Structure 1
Amino acid sequence: MFSISNKHEEFFDYLIENAEKFRRGAVIANEVMKDLSLLPDHMEEITNLEHGADKVNFDVIKQLARVFITPIDREDFYNLSCRLEDCIDNLHGFIMRVDMYHITQSTPAAVRGTEVLIDMGNELASTFELLKNIDKHQAELIYHTEKLNKMETEVDHIYRAEMSRIFSGEMPLLDVIRWKDTMASIEETADKVEALGNLIKGVVMKYA
């Protein structure tokens, strides 16, 4: 069985660091959806998180160019890092959209959707920690990726139910436009996290 122990574990630390940034970004999104008066206070933090994630991703790419042997294929590290950074970009975009559309009142669907994104962030952090010893934690890793799939399914159900409500004809047109895009941003973020989980699953199967 293939072992990757003691081979540049800093690559995994980079992934864990950005997974924590994603989790924090999801917490910010949820706090804003619970209390929109917090939006101005959180905009700078989410922007700093996004910039920090960009830097971490750049550091991964720079380190990949320097290191001869990597714990897993360098292409896998590159894809994992870039996909994770995209997820953080989406959270930043969500907060910017809330500000741009001057949203002043939240919805239960937006609150619950962002709560699930927090759960997905927790799963990502746990998954990347286990990935350090992929040969010892294959079953656990697959379990975590399957949980991500289930969470994305929940967000998808939330999104479809909210779209049905939005287009029922009871909501003012301007609010329809606002919430159609805002809920789509939550759903797209969950989709990207699920895709990242599927990528992790592929890496696990490669080294099984």
Structure 2
Amino acid sequence: MSRVKRKEDIFFTQFKEFSELTVSAAELFLDIVENYSEKADLIPEVKEYETKGDEEVGKIMTTLNSSFITPFDREDISALALQMDEIVDGLENVAARFKLYDIDAIRPEAVDMARLIVNATKHLDIAFEKFPDFKKDASILKHTKAANDVEDEGDIVYRDALARLFREHGDTIEVVKWKSLLDKIEDTLDACKDVANDIRNVIVKNG
């Protein structure tokens, strides 16, 4: 049986729904970058996920403002919701710039990083599935660590991508465009790591 009372269940349900949304958004983003010539027209759908992410934050904040009892500190609930939103915002930010920068082909490192984002969000989703029992289920930390490890792997891909970009590309404008895009993809991976750390902090504070 879950440790939380029925009135507290709603927070965990909302976080899990939000987590599932981040996975779906990450998978859509990956599909776009893997098959850019055929799937670039799906970019507006990433914006739809960004809008849904804002709605999920609104739901959590509304619940928070109307709840006397919460499963952990109110400020941690708020911070976690806002940090999850950074993942979806980051994906939309990059996708929108593909059109803004008139990108006609995706660099392979961007695809690699998109795959890592999917991997990280899936680990976070498992952590959120187990989150209602965070005082008893130590395996949550395994998945937050895995999300952190994915981000560390992303750091290596990101640095190698920049080195290759600066070394091989002679068009300064293209270098500027792709430096910006790679930076923002890396920021999205960082947001995944921040969510993992926020979950871990909740466990440490309330364990």
Give TM class, smaller chain: over 0.9
How far has the Cα of 1:4 moved from its partner? 2.8
How far has the Cα of 1:63 moved from its partner? 1.0
For the residues of structure 2 that align with 1:193 and 1:5, how far apart are their CA atoms? 28
Is 1:142 the counterpart of 2:141? The answer is: yes
How far has the Cα of 1:166 moved from its partner? 0.8
1:179 matched to which residue of 2? 178
For the residues of structure 1 that align with 2:80 and 2:148, how far apart are their CA atoms? 17
Question: Where do 5+ consecutive residues of structure 1 fail to align?
Answer: none
- Please give the residue correspondences for 1:121-200 in structure 2 after superposition, counting only pairs within 5 Å: 121-137=121-137, 139-200=138-199
Letter in 2 for 1:49: Y
| RMSD after superposition | 1.3
How far has the Cα of 1:75 moved from its partner? 1.4
Count of aligned positions: 204
Is 1:90 the counterpart of 2:90? The answer is: yes
For the residues of structure 1 that align with 2:168 and 2:87, how far apart are their CA atoms? 32
Deviation by residue 1:139-174 (Cα, 9 ceiling, x = unmatched): 211111111111001111000001001111534222
TM-score when normalising by structure 1: 0.93
For the residues of structure 1 that align with 2:130 and 2:71, how far apart are their CA atoms? 13
For the residues of structure 2 that align with 1:21 and 1:93, how far apart are their CA atoms? 16
For the residues of structure 1 that align with 2:104 and 2:53, how far apart are their CA atoms? 28
How far has the Cα of 1:43 moved from its partner? 2.2
For the residues of structure 1 that align with 2:162 and 2:108, how far apart are their CA atoms? 13
How far has the Cα of 1:5 moved from its partner? 4.4
Letter in 2 for 1:140: S
Question: Where do 5+ consecutive residues of structure 2 fail to align?
Answer: none
For the residues of structure 2 that align with 1:133 and 1:5, how far apart are their CA atoms? 11
8 Å CA contact retained: 1:5, 1:133: no
Identity of aligned residues (%): 26
How far has the Cα of 1:193 moved from its partner? 1.0
Letter in 2 for 1:64: L
Secondary structure in structure 1 of the residue aligned to 2:8: coil
Letter in 1 for 2:16: I
Secondary structure in structure 2 of the residue aligned to 1:46: helix
> In the superposition, relative to structure 1, how do residues 130 and 5 fare at CA in structure 2: closer, same or farther (>3 Å)?
farther
2:200 matched to which residue of 1? 201
For the residues of structure 2 that align with 1:104 and 1:144, how far apart are their CA atoms? 36
For the residues of structure 1 that align with 2:165 and 2:177, how far apart are their CA atoms? 10
Letter in 2 for 1:10: I
TM-score when normalising by structure 2: 0.94
2:14 matched to which residue of 1? 14
